[in-house]
């Protein structure tokens, strides 16, 4: 089995490395970044997305947003031009659910299958292979690629038909964004009241308010470390997809809209490339205090 991997950024690169470490033969390509380190580990390089597809049984895409996936798969020189009958495309990007369905329909005309399988966990879990993977598609396709997905994630779940994986990812991203905002608001309050934020963290992380988000992001906030594991600009993209999907379904999402405005304010302040834990900086600016050790 040969796996093609398209998109070798913050998330895709360590995911590809985990597949190489697991013994899979990879053909890799990224239009924008070099991947010499993967070639040194034994991967083969490709010249185009079409080239990847023509040499692979399973093609994984890990790209920023819906337009990038459509270009890579359906555009000129794209996967669809080189894909073999019976091959499977697994899109692990976080995109709009309707685009997943559009891509699947196009691939079906070539006799190829599709799975949308976005991930949660950020760069640290991509590196250690413990991502949460939420997949949408038919069970036969899922079962065929599950062993591959398990080399990149500790939790691999089929959640429904095509597009369902991205619906679940949108729900995940709403929860993560609101959680970071709540944590930021609470810790800025505590710091402004003169309570040591380190002790606040120690006191509440084991209680009902504790969460994976708190455990991952509060240490970054306390250190003033906003190096991206997941960039603000990408969370803006996810929340926009969430709001668009919600509006198309007649679902009101007022809290999501509020956090979106916070993220947009941070982007305007030049923090688009910062980690989404920098939501804390929005509250710090308003309160004129920093939450630090």
Catalytic residues: 169
Cβ partners under 8 Å of residue 200, min gap 6:
186, 187, 190
Distance separating alpha carbons of residues 255 and 94, to the nearest angstrom: 20
- Show the tokens assigned to 281: 């900086």
Place of tokens 């640290």: 124
User: How many angstroms separate the CA atoms of 290 and 14, rounded?
Assistant: 33
Q: How many other C-beta atoms are found inside a 10 Å radius of the C-beta of residue 173?
A: 23
- Which H/E stretch holds residue 157? strand 153-160
Q: Which residue has the tokens 């679902």?
A: 251
* Contact by Cβ (8 Å): 113, 83: no
**CB burial string 214-251: b at 16+ within 10 A, e below:** bebbbebbbeeebebbbbbbbbbbbbbbbbebbeeeee
CA–CA dist 37, 27 (Å, integer)? 13
């Amino acid at each position: 089995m040969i796996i093609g991997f398209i998109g070798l950024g913050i998330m895709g690169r360590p995911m590809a490395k985990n597949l190489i470490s697991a013994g899979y033969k990879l053909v890799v390509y990224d239009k924008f970044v070099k991947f010499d380190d993967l070639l040194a580990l034994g991967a083969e390089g490709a010249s185009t997305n079409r080239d990847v597809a023509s040499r692979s049984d399973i093609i994984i895409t890990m790209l920023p947003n819906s337009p990038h996936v459509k270009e890579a798969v359906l555009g000129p020189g794209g996967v669809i031009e080189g894909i073999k009958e019976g091959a499977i495309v697994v899109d692990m990007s976080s995109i709009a659910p309707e685009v997943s369905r559009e891509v699947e329909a196009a691939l079906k005309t070539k006799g190829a299958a599709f799975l949308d399988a976005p991930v949660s966990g950020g760069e640290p879990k991509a590196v250690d292979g413990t991502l949460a993977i939420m997949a949408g598609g038919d069970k036969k396709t899922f079962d065929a690629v599950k062993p591959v997905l398990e080399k990149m994630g500790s939790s691999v779940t089929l959640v429904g038909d095509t597009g369902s994986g991205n619906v679940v990812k949108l729900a995940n991203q709403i929860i993560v964004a609101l959680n970071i905002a709540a944590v930021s608001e609470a810790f800025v309050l505590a710091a402004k009241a003169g309570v040591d934020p380190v002790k606040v963290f120690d006191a509440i992380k084991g209680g009902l308010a504790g969460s994976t988000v708190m455990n991952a992001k509060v240490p970054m906030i306390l250190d003033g470390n906003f190096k991206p594991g997941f960039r603000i600009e990408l969370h803006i993209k996810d929340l926009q997809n969430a709001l668009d999907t919600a509006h198309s379904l007649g679902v009101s999402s007022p809290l999501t809209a509020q956090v979106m405005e916070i993220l947009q304010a941070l982007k305007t302040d030049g923090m688009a490339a910062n980690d989404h834990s920098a939501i804390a900086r929005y509250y710090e600016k308003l309160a004129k205090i920093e939450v630090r050790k």
